[in-house]
Amino acid sequence: MKLRTRTNGGTSRTAVAAVVAAALWLVMSGWMFATHAWGSLPAVVDGCGSPAPDVRFAPDADAVAAFMAGCRSAGSAAYLHLQVLDLLFPSVTAAFLVAALLLLTRRRRSLRWLVVLPLLVAVGDYVENVGAWALLAGGDPTWAYRLVQLGSAVKNVLSWASWLALIVLVVASIGAARRHRRRPRAQSMGRSTSSGAEAHDPAAAELIGSGPGASRTGSIVGLRDR
């Protein structure tokens, strides 16, 4: 009983964490992707003339250098603001995905390893950000380009895997819930049909009464009368 209560309490806390992280993730995603406000990706495009390396898949050194060359003072400031917001965004995304995957795998212990994927996504994102900060500092080091490319590759591949796992588990959970609802209903209908047939079928009642058990009962009663 205590174990069940403890498990339910842990699930409730995980659900609350998932809801809070999801709400924060939606707000930040809308701000960063759908507005031209401070720290947004469209603001970077406005200032630099092309999308930030953060939204490209593993851009090479030439692509990153061309992007940085296109950023003048306003563009560099917009890219810096984006990096400030990106100090928080990977952690928020990872928190949401980890909490959601924990909830969806609570009865599938063999799939618990999936929660590692969002954590690795955050690591890749922060590796990419280190390279971006180095470039914004005015340097032009080869290692910074490599960090941006490596971090982007890890972030994108594992992010796709994390979201795909989340979608598959949601669909599987919905299917399992529907099957669980249909099963008691089918069993209830089967029992009611069986009892109704016995009540309304005299032949069945007569057959039950004339079975071997009834014959033995009649013989015993006859012997007693003698």
Please write the tens of the pLDDT for every residue from 152-168. 999 999 999 999 999 99
The reported pLDDT for the residue numbered 178 is 87
Q: What is the mean pLDDT of residues 126-141?
A: 92
Which percentage of the chain shows pLDDT scores above 70? 76
Mean pLDDT of the chain: 85
Residue 110: what pLDDT?
Answer: 93
Q: How confident is the model at residue 192 (pLDDT cuts 50, 70, 90)?
A: low
Helix ranges, 41-88 (H): 41-48, 61-70, 73-85
Q: Is the pLDDT score of 37 beyond 70?
A: yes
The domain in which residue 116 lies consists of 2-181
Structural domain count, the chain: 2
If asked whether residues 143 and 213 sit together in one domain, one would say no
Spatial neighbors of 170 by CB under 8 A, at least 6 apart, are 104
130 shares its domain with 197: no
Q: Are residues 148 and 70 in the same domain?
A: yes
Same domain, 140 and 197: no
What is the predicted pLDDT for the residue at 140?
74
Question: Each residue of 42-82: pLDDT tens digit?
Answer: 999 999 999 999 999 999 999 999 999 999 899 999 999 99
Q: How many other C-beta atoms are found inside a 10 Å radius of the C-beta of residue 17?
A: 17
Same domain? For 150 and 204 the reply is no
Rounded distance between C-alpha atoms, residue 109 and residue 116, angstroms: 14
Looking at the fold, whether 60 and 113 belong to one and the same domain comes out as: yes
Q: How many CB atoms lie within 10 A of CB 80?
A: 15
